[in-house]
Amino acid sequence: MLDKPESPATPAPGQDAGSQGEGPQVEAHAVFRFLVDIGNGQAVFSECTLPSLEVEVTEQKEGGYNTGVHLLPGPVKAGRLTLKRGLTKSSELLKWYGQVASGDVKKATCNVTLTMLDQELNPVLRMSFVNAYPVKWSGPTFRLSDSTIAIESLELAFAEVQVE
């Protein structure tokens, strides 16, 4: 079931830190500091969107039970990890995607680790995407009137998520 709600990280105005009640302190962290390890090396990305994880629900009808159906939990359906960065002279991400597109998924599969950092650059959360491989590469749209950075995007499928 759900855990007991935790106390806020900072006391309310007029309340001292000792009168907050029971439970561990909760601290929210800014999400703009993160590292991405792909295989044996690190890569720099300007944006990372974590996948949604969803349990599929199967409807099971039962004879004699006419007021509804039983809802049974099924397999977990995982979304995709999306990484974005400014387009560079390096074509490593497109080459990695090309391995999968040419049918060499086994060679392209590796573990991808996302590490969230606090303000002092200490690790706060680490998520490992086991046996990840690229399934979609998207390039930028070029417009003569646009002066924004050209962004490439890579979507990754994976076998499982491990949280440390």
pLDDT-based confidence at residue 30 (cuts at 50, 70, 90): low
CATH 2.30.110.20 applies to domain 30-55+74-163 = yes
**101 φψ region: left (φ > 0), alpha (ψ -120 to 50), beta (else):** alpha
Compute the distance between CA of residue 64 and CA of residue 72 in angstroms, rounded to an integer: 18
Average pLDDT over residues 75-83: 91
Average pLDDT over residues 55-81: 90
How wide is the angle at C-alpha 80 spanned by C-alphas 161 and 48, nearest 5°? 90
In 70-150, at which residue ranges do the beta strands (DSSP E only) sit? 70-78, 81-86, 110-117, 123-138
Average pLDDT over residues 76-97: 88
What pTM value is reported for the model? 0.71
Judged by DSSP in three states, 93 sits in helix
pLDDT-based confidence at residue 128 (cuts at 50, 70, 90): very high
Average pLDDT over residues 135-154: 88
Instruction: List the structure tokens of 99.
Output: 């391995």
